[in-house]
Structure 1
Amino acid sequence: MRQVRLGNSGLRVSPLALGCMSYGDPGRGAHPWTLPEERSRSLIRAALEAGVTFFDTANIYSLGTSEEYLGRALRDFARREEVVIATKVFEPMHDGPLAGGLSRQAIMTEIDQSLRRLGTDYVDLYIVHRWDPHTPIEETMQALDDVVRAGKVRYLGASSMRAWQFAKAQHVATQHGWTPFVSMQNHYNLLNREEEREMLPFCADSGVGVTPWSPLARGLLTRPWGTETERTTKDLVQHRLYAQTAAADRQVVDVVAQIATDRGVPMAQVALAWLLSRPAVSGAVVGVTDPRHLTDAVAATGLDLDADEIERLEKPYIPHDTVELR
């Protein structure tokens, strides 16, 4: 698989990042549909064999067991210098009064815990999972700069927040000579394109690489509308993100299905190919719980949609309200 630059940074990654939220102890955390370790390991290994070099997890995923599974698998199947590991900080990992957020105390504590669980000396990309309204951004950016200078982190990234918040963080870093963010991991797919208004143009203009999460709308873009799976019955976030716009979203999904049929490829390939063709997008974070998901994702990196197909895919879209995910 080809490698691409993450924005204007020198970090090279595969255009697919294996999202590891699906891997972890199902009995821990908020995701009862996650895969146990042996099944997770087999998919991580398959991703490596397919040329994926970019692996995305978070401390909060299955309360740290996602990091543990990923770390053990990569130690067994890959050389550390040949993979890019991204993890995140923000969500509370315990019930204590100092849990969560982006304070200096939280960042310094959680990076060491993540490194321990991953079994590595450094993280390639350390991502702030959300904006922290209770901590001055100067404190957050200085603490992040310190973990970079300490050699525990190579690059910094951010995830879902308002464009003005991201711009403020970047300005503060530049103003003080601290390490800026090189990537933005946000909610962006054919069913939710609100990031095209402010965040994507800002990232394109400032050379920040975009690596959207939920590129297939938590599975809605991979199958005919109304198909039920185990995850659709348990995934409350999917309901929060898409239930209010179901009628319009169904029209988009129907077009994806039509183009997929015309092309003779699975729907997932069409939806991913559209996303990977968008300006500022360096890659996509894909969740893989079955080998065929990986096969479709890899094939999408070589699928070129023509202008007419792109117009058909985008035409049914209507504006969506912002759903705040803590």
Structure 2
Amino acid sequence: MNYKLLGRSGLKVSELCLGTMGFGTEAGWGADKDTSFAILDAFTKAGGNFLDAANIYKLGTSEKIIGEYMSNHDRDYFVVATKYSLKDNISNPNASGNNRKNMMRSVEESLKRLKTDFIDVLYLHIWDDLTPIDEVLRGLDDLIRQGKVNYAAISDTPAWMIAKGNTMAELMGWSQFIALQVEYSLLQRTPERDLIPMARHFGMTVTPWAPMGGGVLSGKYLRGEQGRVKAESNRRNDRSTKIAEAVVAVADELGVPASHVALQWTMSQGFSSIPIAGATKVSQLEENMKAVDVKLSAEHLQKLDEVSKIDLGFPGEFFREAAVKENVFGGFYARIEKRK
């Protein structure tokens, strides 16, 4: 694999991130420890070093498996990203949310499960709409100064709140968010309205989750296969079927699996993007990793864009209309483009 810098940092991570939500067999699905180890072996052999976890994945088993694996390998090779926010202790009212108490408690528990002294990237998992953003930022900065966390990142949070946070962090000299994790795929393009433009402005890398739309974009439902979870069925409708058909058509032209096209699309949108691809079988991972070698032509990208296009709303649609721009600004944008 090639490596990319994560956001406005010097941290080098693989161009594909391994999602570990399926490490463990709780809830009746997932990979056992031996299979998880085999997946990690295959990922590292291919040059992968970027792992995505969370305190609640498989009730903590995901982090435990990663920790046990790293204890027998070079810890510093791996860039381990994990998350805090969601409840992992039903008897403690402060065992959830973005507050400082939960942050510190959750990080200490993650460090134990991961069998490490530091977390490379710590994400706020989901915005709770309760905790002041300055409390979050100061807590993350304290953890970074203590050496328990190297970088701060954020997930599933409104763009305006992230922008407020990064601006405040810059003014206060605190560590800024360097990565943004959101659902983003050909099925879910609404982050293009404000989250992705915000990430580009602040130089943040986007790490899309569900880049294959819960399996819909692999074309498996077109073949009559059934989904495992309700979330997958919620993504199945007339629009998603048309998009999946277009993905399969492009894949057939290229002679690759549809999943490769879906993954590569998220990496070909003109901004820093490292998709998170989960796997519960070595064969799944090996197939996903081949997506980095797929090249989508301008025609392929246009075809996929047209079938999955969304309404950006105001002011996105207003700005997207080149004719309107020229009329309003007297050709200003055209002149700037020529000057470039």
Q: Please give the TM-score of this superposition, normalised by the length of structure 1.
A: 0.91
Contact 1:90 1:101 in 2 (8 A): yes
Indicate the SS of the match to 2:180: strand
2:162 alignment partner, one of 161, 166, 175: 166
- Displacement of 1:167 after TM fit? 0.9
In the alignment, which of 52, 63, 67 is matched to residue 71 of structure 1?
67
1:133 deviates by 1.0
Say whether 1:276 aligns with 2:267.
yes
Would you say how many aligned residue pairs link Structure 1 and Structure 2?
311
For the 8 Å contact 1:224–1:254, the answer to whether it is kept is no
Displacement of 1:320: 8.7
Deviation at 1:279, TM superposition (A): 2.2
Counterpart Cα distance in 2 of 1:119 and 1:9:
25
Q: Distance in 1 between matches of 2:232 and 2:82?
A: 22
Counterpart Cα distance in 2 of 1:224 and 1:61: 25
Tell me the CA shift for residue 297 of structure 1: 2.1
Q: Which residue of 2 aligns with 1:87?
A: 82
Asked if structure 1 preserves the Cα contact closer than 8 Å seen for 2:259 and 2:288, the reply is yes
Match of residue 300 from structure 2 = 309
Secondary structure of 1:22's aligned partner: coil
Preserved contact between residue 4 and residue 282 of structure 1 (Cα < 8 Å): no
- Runs of 4+ residues over 3 Å off in structure 1: 224-230, 318-321
Q: Which residues of 2 match residues 192-271 of structure 1 at below 5 A?
A: 192-227=188-223, 232-233=227-228, 235-240=229-234, 242-243=235-236, 246-271=237-262
SS across alignment from 2:71: helix
Cα pair 1:68 1:117 within 8 Å, conserved? yes
Q: Distance in 2 between matches of 1:227 and 1:36?
A: 28
- What are the equivalent positions in structure 2 for 1:106-121 lying under 5 Å apart? 106-121=102-117
| Residue from 95, 102, 111 that aligns with 1:99 | 95
Equivalent pair of 2:13/2:79 in contact (CA under 8 Å): yes
What one-letter code is carried by the residue in structure 2 that aligns with 1:206? F
Provide the secondary structure at the position in 2 that maps to 1:149: helix
Aligned mates of 2:104, 2:7 — CA distance in 1 = 26
CA distance in 2 between partners of 1:224 and 1:260 (Å): 13
Map of 2:327 onto structure 1:
none
Corresponding residue of 1:14:
14
1:208-230 deviations in Å (ceiling 9; x for gaps): 11111111111111124344657
Which protein has the larger Cα radius of gyration, Structure 1 or Structure 2? 2
Hey, what does 2:180 align to over in structure 1? 184
Q: In 2, are the aligned partners of 1:131 and 1:165 still within 8 Å (CA)?
A: no
Identify the residue that residue 324 of structure 1 maps to in structure 2.
Answer: none
Residue of structure 2 equivalent to 1:298: 289
Could you list the per-position Cα deviations for residues 242-266 of structure 1 after superposition, in whole angstroms to 9, with x for gaps in the alignment?
24xx111111100111111111111
Q: 1:262 and 1:125 mapped to 2: Cα distance? A: 38
CA contact 2:266–2:273 (8 Å) conserved in 1? no
Q: Distance in 1 between matches of 2:137 and 2:201?
A: 21
Amino acid at match of 1:279: G
Where does the alignment leave 5 or more consecutive residues of structure 1 unmatched? 322-326
**Is the Cα contact below 8 Å between 2:216 and 2:240 reproduced in 1?**
no
1:17-72 superposed Cα distances (whole Å, 9 cap, x missing partner): 10000112424xxxx32222111111111111111110010001011111001111
Stretch deviating more after TM superposition (213-222 or 166-175): 166-175
Give secondary structure in 2 for the equivalent of 1:316. Answer: helix
2:118 pairs with 1:127:
no
Distance across 1 between alignment mates of 2:269 and 2:279: 22
* Pair 123,237 (structure 1): closer, same or farther in 2 beyond 3 Å: same
Counterparts in 2 of 1:291 and 1:25: CA distance versus 1, 3 Å: closer
- Name the structure 1 match of 2:23: 23
SS in 2 for 1:156: strand
